[in-house]
Amino acid sequence: MESSDTPPPRGPLRGVRVIEFAGIGPGPVATMLLSDMGADVLRIDRPGAGKRPVFDVVSRGRRVVELDLRTPGGIEAALDLLQHADALIEGFRPGVMERLGLGPDAVAARNPRLVYGRMTGGAGTVPWPRSPATTSTTSR
């Protein structure tokens, strides 16, 4: 299900297509800012998660498609979308995108020019790199 109530993009990033894998933390804020600058942002949500509260300003300026990434059809649909994108932004725990078959190597095989943006909340720099976290919970 894709919503289409977003006005056409304007700004310096007009024509840049960004695929956001829905999450929390810096990813939605980053894609909000990219959208503010004119990028065409499409967020991939879990089925049933696409309806956000009206006051959710971080979700502004993007379209939404719901895909079940636990199914082969959902993964293939995501890869098809990524084949025509300029950038991907995700903030899952380390290894999640690889387990789904959507890691950098798999995506680059379909779209070698895609910029793969990964925000994992300090993974690799903290004593508990596989735990979910954001910068605010890992900073001292």
Residue 121 sits at the vertex; the CA angle it makes with 132 and 69, to the nearest 5 degrees, is 60
Cα dihedral 26, 32, 36, 39, rounded to 10, equals 100
Structure confidence at residue 22 (pLDDT):
82
Cα separation, 1 vs 22, whole angstroms: 14
Residue 86: in which H helix or E strand, if any?
none
Counting every residue written for the chain, the total comes to 140
Q: How do beta strands 17-21 and 40-45 pair?
A: parallel
Structure confidence at residue 136 (pLDDT):
45
Residue ranges of the chain with per-residue pLDDT less than 70: 1-9, 49-56, 121-140
- pLDDT digit string, tens, across residues 79-113: 999 999 999 999 888 889 999 999 999 999 999 99
Structure confidence at residue 52 (pLDDT):
59
Structure confidence at residue 119 (pLDDT):
83
Beta strands per DSSP E along 3-136: 17-21, 40-45, 62-66, 87-90, 115-118
> Which domains does the chain carry?
17-138 (3.40.50.10540)
Closest CA to 27 of 102, 114, 117: 117
The model's pTM is 0.78
Closest CA to 29 of 114, 89, 94, 84: 89
Cα separation, 34 vs 5, whole angstroms: 18
